[in-house]
Chain A
Amino acid sequence: MEKKTKRRDFLFTATYAVGAVGAGAVIWPMIDQMNPDASVKALASTEVDVSAVNPGKTITVLWRGKPVFIRRRTPEEIAEAKSVKLEDLKHPEKDEDRAKNPEWLVMLGVCTHLGCVPLDQKGDYNGWFCPCHGSHYDTSGRIRKGPAPTNMEIPEYKFVDANTIKIG
């Protein structure tokens, strides 16, 4: 009698396990279909001609549906960004690590709070200011004041030649 029950328990457990795997195999495609599809992923990189950008000017380009700020910084801005002490930063990052070529700051123009596009040359730190919930960024795009948790993101990019930046 006892032996019989055990055999049945095993069959139940095995059935549940196979059933769970089957259910998971059916549910996963239903969930994963919402992730970025092949056509969205195909638009992963873009090349930008920056020859017309003078110091103190920013251009905004669209990459993966998001704005990317490309700013040619003035010597004062670079000096200001470099002079900040790391311990004063909410999200400590050196300016050298954010702008490999200090004259060019290339970053996602997306506030790390809730995704609005910050305004250029505004705010308390002469960098960017997000109008949605009042985050202030400095000339290196680092968060200085307000609800955003991190600095504006630096995308992967490289200079293809002196005047062309490839993002992504």
Chain B
Amino acid sequence: MSEHEYTPKSKVGKWFNDRLPLLTLANHLTDYPTPKNLNYWWTFGGILTFCLITQIVTGLVLAMHYIAHADMAFQSVEHIMRDVNYGWLIRYIHANGASMFFLAVYIHIFRSLFYGSYKSPREVIWIIGIIIYLLMMAAAFLGYVLPWGQMSFWGATVITNLFSAIPLVGEGIVTWLWGGYSVDNPTLTRFFTLHYLIPFLILGLVVLHIWALHVPGNNNPIGIDIKKPSKDTVPFHPYIVIKDGFALLMFMIVFAFFVFYTPNILGHADNYIEANPLVTPAHIVPEWYLLPFYAILRSVPDKLLGVIAMLSAILILAALPWLDTSKIRSAVFRPLYKQFYWILVADVLILGYVGAMPAEGLYLLIARIATAYYFLHFLVILPVLGFKERTTPVPLSITEPILGGSPNLAAVKKKDSFKDQ
């Protein structure tokens, strides 16, 4: 990335670096030129890394005490809560950690939507991110099954039954997923295995996500291409490290509030009842972070189409770089997009709210309108807006609005040549 080749100062360092250039990598990461106008919405990448590591570490510890067997799983979770030293703390961090992870990822995704970070040349970063998000949902769902409470059991039943909507092979796939004729012990053991596996897949993808980010470099709040390194950039260390660190501390305060003061508020009381295949809880709801998609599923009266709508709602995000036809990245210079952006935010929040409510009457109507609008935003509004919208002037550089001129001489020349005409 950087133009100068890095050479370690010490002889040993040089000897090692010639054989495995880890020090070059470390140097790249510390010197990595970062736009100097990054705001706090950019700190969630670091926060998410923290969340992933927290989940992996607490998860490893829980796996030392948890027993993946239909007859013992529920007891072993209570054993963790009551008998294991600090078991309550570790489990509450892990359970609330999942919610915190999703909170951070939603802010991260909506940051990207506002500042157009998914646009060229960052499409691959975005798509890797969507895959990570899908894997996060899978990991969260699988993990929620492990305590083998009523919500675990019936959540697993409902979600695996989504596959039965597939024509012809659906029933076979569901039996295969279950390893039986209902959710039972074989289902639990394989869910545990996969729940253990997925975080490491996510870790690998995070490395690719960051690698792909370091090719074009960060987007920034005004969404312009900047020259790197220049007056428009600061080195990652110490500037961004300190800023990320401070944001992480603030985030940890919120995290700790949930863990220590309301550790069960984001869960369901029904999950403290052991799984019973004969009784379905009166009101099944997924965890809060899946509610918008659950609302979309329920808003369609047909089983197969409902499942297709729900999956499309997620997968449509992968096509976003091509659905958004605007060349301008940041919403700061897109007066109309900015309004539609906030309508979309409201729409998703409404979907989340009706997803938690019974699917009948007014709630169902609202869910249907909100679902229709969700797809309208991506399939109609965004493609059309790119052609119709009158954007406001974009500065040539981050420093230009304050100092005039630009460290990017090529851009200045281009602007001057516009003046001449």
- Does A pair with B? yes
Asked if A34 is at the interface of the complex by the 8 Å CB criterion, the answer is yes
Interfacial chain A residues near B302, Cβ < 8 Å: 147, 149
How far does the Cβ of A51 sit from chain B's closest Cβ, in whole Å? 21
Query: Across the interface, which residues of B come within 8 angstroms of A130, CB to CB?
Result: 280
**Complex contacts, B158 vs chain A, CB 8 Å:** 114-116, 132
**Chain A residues, Cβ within 8 Å of B186:** 34, 36-37, 40
B379 within 8 A of A: no
A57 lies within 8 A of chain B by Cβ: no
Contact between chains at B359 and A64 (CB < 8 Å): no
Q: Bound state CA distance, A26 and B182, in angstroms?
A: 27
Known contacts A34-B176, A113-B303: does B277 contact A62 (CB below 8 Å)? yes
Please, which residues of chain A bring their CB within 8 A of the CB of B180? 36, 40, 64-65
Whether the Cβ atoms of B182 and A65 lie closer than 8 Å is: yes
List B residues 353-381 near A (Cβ within 8 Å).
358-360
Partner of B182, one of A37, A64, A132: A64
The answer to whether B280 touches A117, judged by C-beta atoms less than 8 angstroms apart, is: yes
- B278 contact from A60, A133, A134, Cβ within 8 A: A60
Interface size on B, residues (CB 8 A): 38
Contact A40 B177 (CB under 8 A): no
Interface of A is mostly: loop
- Do B277 and A66 have beta carbons less than 8 Å apart? yes
Q: In the complex, A65→B157 CA distance in Å?
A: 12
Interface assignment of A81: CB less than 8 Å from any CB of chain B: no
Q: A117 → chain B, closest Cβ, in Å?
A: 4
- Give residues 137-194 of B contacting A (CB, 8 Å): 154, 157-162, 164, 175-184, 186, 190
Which chain B residue shows the least CB distance to A117?
A: B280
Considering the complex, give the chain B residue whose CB is closest to the CB of A145. Answer: B301
Name the B residues within 8 Å of A56 (CB-CB): none
Quick one: which of B164, B179, B278 contacts A37, CB cutoff 8 A?
Answer: B179
CB distance from A30 to the nearest CB of B (A): 12
**Inter-subunit contact B181/A65 (CB<8 Å):** yes
> When A60-B278, A115-B158, A116-B157 are in contact, do A131 and B284 touch as well, CB less than 8 Å?
yes
A residues near B298, Cβ cutoff 8 Å? 133, 147
Decide yes or no whether B283 CB sits under 8 A from chain A.
Answer: yes
Cα-based distance from A132 to B161 in the complex (angstroms): 13
Interface residues of A in 1-46 (CB under 8 A from B): 31, 34-37, 40
> Which of B177, B179, B181, B279 is A66 in contact with, Cβ under 8 Å?
B181
Q: Which of B164, B280, B360 contacts A132 (CB 8 A)?
A: B280
Q: B207 contacts the other chain (Cβ, under 8 Å)?
A: no
- State how many residues of chain A have any CB contact under 8 Å with chain B: 26
Measured between beta carbons, the chain A residues less than 8 angstroms from B358 are 134
Q: Tell me whether A78 is interfacial, beta carbon within 8 Å.
A: no
Contact yes or no, B283 A131, CB < 8 A? yes
**A residues less than 8 Å from B304 (CB atoms):** 149
**Measured CA separation A116–B159 after assembly (Å):** 11
Give min CB distance, B366 to chain A, whole Å. 15
In the bound assembly, the distance between CA atoms of A117 and B304 in angstroms comes to 20
Is B403 in the interface zone, CB < 8 Å from A? no
Q: Across the interface, name the chain A residue whose C-beta is closest to B301.
A: A147
A148 within 8 A of B: yes
Closest to B285 in A: A132
B1 CB, nearest partner CB in chain A, Å: 39
Q: Measured between C-beta atoms, what is the minimum distance from B159 to chain A in Å?
A: 8
Which chain B positions have C-beta within 8 A of A62?
277-278
Q: Which 3 A-B pairs have the closest CB atoms?
A: A65-B182, A64-B181, A115-B161
Which residues of chain B have a CB within 8 Å of any CB of chain A? 154, 157-162, 164, 175-184, 186, 190, 277-284, 298, 300-304, 306, 358-360
Q: Which residues of A contact B (CB under 8 A)?
A: 31, 34-37, 40, 60, 62, 64-67, 113-118, 130-134, 147-149
Give 9 pairs: A residue, B residue, CB < 8 Å, sorted on A: A36-B181, A36-B186, A40-B179, A65-B180, A65-B184, A66-B277, A115-B160, A118-B280, A132-B154
**Supplied contacts A31-B176, A117-B279, 10 more A-B pairs, CB within 8 Å:** A35-B176, A36-B181, A40-B179, A64-B180, A116-B157, A116-B280, A131-B281, A131-B283, A133-B298, A149-B303
